[in-house]
């Protein structure tokens, strides 16, 4: 039995719980609580991605990248761990994410599907959004990521992800439209 097939029976439950976790992460107002809740969302979404089979590896890659960033920020903001240790752990995590991404993209090459192309495009844009410091650029990239993600998840029948990406796109569009008058220096995210 393929490793990815083990999680298939959990797919419906993980999909809808992913939506619940996403809403919870958005609702929390304290950074520490939000980061802790994000771990629940990340763990759920990694298993949800695995339950999607080979098409879900893009989702797994996104969530492992988010886990790396979240862990790095949590360690810096709320612990007294040595920065060198944080950098080593982050580097190892990045290597793991790159390995999974390479496997997923190679699988796309050997078994081409348009859904796979759209989902890996979503992963590339979303991970790019996580690397920017300007909040407006982040919102634009998150909005842009919805355009390949929504049809990609629709093509593989993952309705919870279609809903989540629609919510992400709506929130990003709202912020971009209603907060256009913010000065550029106010829109910068701090380190």
Q: What is the pLDDT of residues 142-173, one digit of tens each?
A: 999 999 999 999 999 999 999 999 998 998 89
Tell me what pLDDT residue 182 has. Answer: 56
From 86, 34, 95, select the one nearest 61 (Cα to Cα). Answer: 95
**pLDDT range class, residue 190, cuts 50, 70, 90:** very low
Q: What is the pLDDT of residues 34-93, one digit of tens each?
A: 777 888 889 999 999 999 988 888 899 899 888 888 888 788 878 888 888 888 888 888
Tell me what pLDDT residue 191 has. Answer: 45
């Amino acid at each position: 039995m393929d490793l990815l097939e083990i999680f298939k029976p959990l797919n419906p439950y993980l999909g809808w719980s992913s939506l619940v976790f996403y809403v919870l992460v958005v609702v929390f107002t304290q950074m520490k609580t939000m980061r802790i809740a994000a771990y629940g969302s990340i763990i759920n979404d990694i298993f949800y991605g695995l339950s999607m089979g080979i098409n879900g590896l893009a989702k797994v890659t996104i969530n492992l990248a988010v886990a790396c960033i979240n862990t790095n920020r949590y360690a810096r903001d709320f612990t007294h761990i040595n920065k060198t240790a944080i950098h080593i752990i982050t580097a190892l995590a990045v290597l793991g994410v790159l390995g999974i991404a390479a496997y997923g993209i190679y699988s796309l090459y050997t078994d081409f599907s348009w859904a796979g192309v759209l989902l890996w495009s979503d992963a590339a844009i979303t991970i790019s959004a996580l690397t920017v410091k300007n909040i407006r650029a982040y919102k634009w990239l998150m909005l842009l990521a919805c355009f390949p993600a929504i049809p990609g998840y629709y093509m593989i029948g993952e309705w919870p992800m279609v809903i989540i990406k629609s919510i992400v796109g709506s929130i990003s569009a709202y912020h971009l439209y209603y907060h256009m008058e913010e000065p550029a220096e106010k829109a910068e995210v701090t380190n």
